[in-house]
Structure 1
């Protein structure tokens, strides 16, 4: 069972796709959001949840005050689960894009303050680098935007695109969370 940890929808359960995803554990989400909330005020921020799966990260952000979340999920069954979760929750400013993270990252559109990227472990470092670079090159990030990437703990830190600096890395068992931030000087 996956549930929202805290905020206005704390304790609400989320449906999870039957296979092909691994939702971020409650322990990791709790630690991640504690760190994120010490770094920035989530009130009204625009969130992008790439490789969204059940949407646990984006829905957690909305529960804690984010104003908007866009969920990007390539798998059709997982996108249907995301839509079902969105219908069950009280959040209204939600967009679900059933397309690849790479295609979404290079398309024109709104800019985001927080980006979560929790790709399947099979996604290569090179593929992830293209997605992160696409977000920068397509101007999809605000000045000071925070990028949070979840990978297997045996993975190397992502190659952050130019203009994004590494903030921190933290391991939680077999999961590693890497933080980057768009430099405000350019």
Structure 2
């Protein structure tokens, strides 16, 4: 696993030994950031179910101003800290070592330009996470929420005021993009 682009390009990132997680694959990450590239520079980015920190670190490398990582697995939290030190991004990162739903409630009142969620597959966490993001008003106007899931999992077109406006498939992975607004409305 490596950083694909930006100031930390080609830096190798650690994965916890014996960890059961599934880091976002490089080709999925590359597609994700090709789509999000105009939003990343200067953004506030929220990386939920952060795992190794792979996606949030990529955002920092590409110019995000700040990334908040949320991960509860103790091994993964240590690896995120190590990876942030390794690439020199600790100053622009905040790591919340706790459950995503508790973190979302605590982050209420803050807003993020990009929110990325990659919960463990098959546990049905995508919809409740999207509902909590909507409930606590965490998405900035003009911002984007991206949910990573298996392509077989169907995510809703609308979750409160979050509206899915795009889906992008990479192999068995589906990226679903949500924004503020009504169906067909453009920002």
Shared fold by TM > 0.5? Answer: yes
The answer to whether the 8 A contact 1:129-1:160 is kept is: no
- What residue in structure 2 maps to residue 93 of structure 1? 92
- What residue in structure 2 maps to residue 110 of structure 1? 110
Aligned partner of residue 106 in structure 1, secondary structure: helix
CA distance in 2, matches of 1:78, 1:158: 29
Deviations for 1:62-100, whole angstroms, at most 9, x for unmatched residues?
111100000000111111111111111122210011111
Structure 2: segments with no counterpart, 5+ residues: none
Aligned partner of residue 143 in structure 1, secondary structure: strand
The answer to whether the 8 A contact 1:132-1:160 is kept is: no
Aligned pair partner of 1:178 in 165, 171, 176: 176
- What residue in structure 2 maps to residue 9 of structure 1? 8
Q: How does 1:98-177 map to 2 (within 5 A)?
A: 98-107=97-106, 108-124=108-124, 127-158=125-156, 160-177=158-175
Aligned partner of residue 130 in structure 1, secondary structure: helix
TM-score, normalization: structure 1?
Answer: 0.90
The answer to whether the 8 A contact 1:166-1:179 is kept is: yes
The answer to whether the 8 A contact 2:104-2:133 is kept is: yes
Provide runs of 4+ in structure 1 moved above 3 Å.
none
- What residue in structure 1 maps to residue 59 of structure 2? 61
CA distance in 2, matches of 1:151, 1:71: 19
CA distance in 2, matches of 1:93, 1:181: 25
TM-score, normalization: structure 2?
Answer: 0.90
Aligned partner of residue 27 in structure 2, secondary structure: helix
CA distance in 2, matches of 1:5, 1:181: 26
Deviation at 1:24, TM superposition (A): 0.9
CA distance in 1, matches of 2:165, 2:144: 9
- What residue in structure 2 maps to residue 47 of structure 1? 45
RMSD: 1.8
Deviation at 1:183, TM superposition (A): 2.7
Deviations for 1:23-42, whole angstroms, at most 9, x for unmatched residues?
111111111111111xx332
Aligned partner of residue 14 in structure 1, secondary structure: coil
Deviations for 1:121-148, whole angstroms, at most 9, x for unmatched residues?
1321xx3222212122212221122011
Deviations for 1:2-44, whole angstroms, at most 9, x for unmatched residues?
000001111001111231211111111111111111xx33221
Bigger drift between 109-118 and 99-108 goes to 99-108
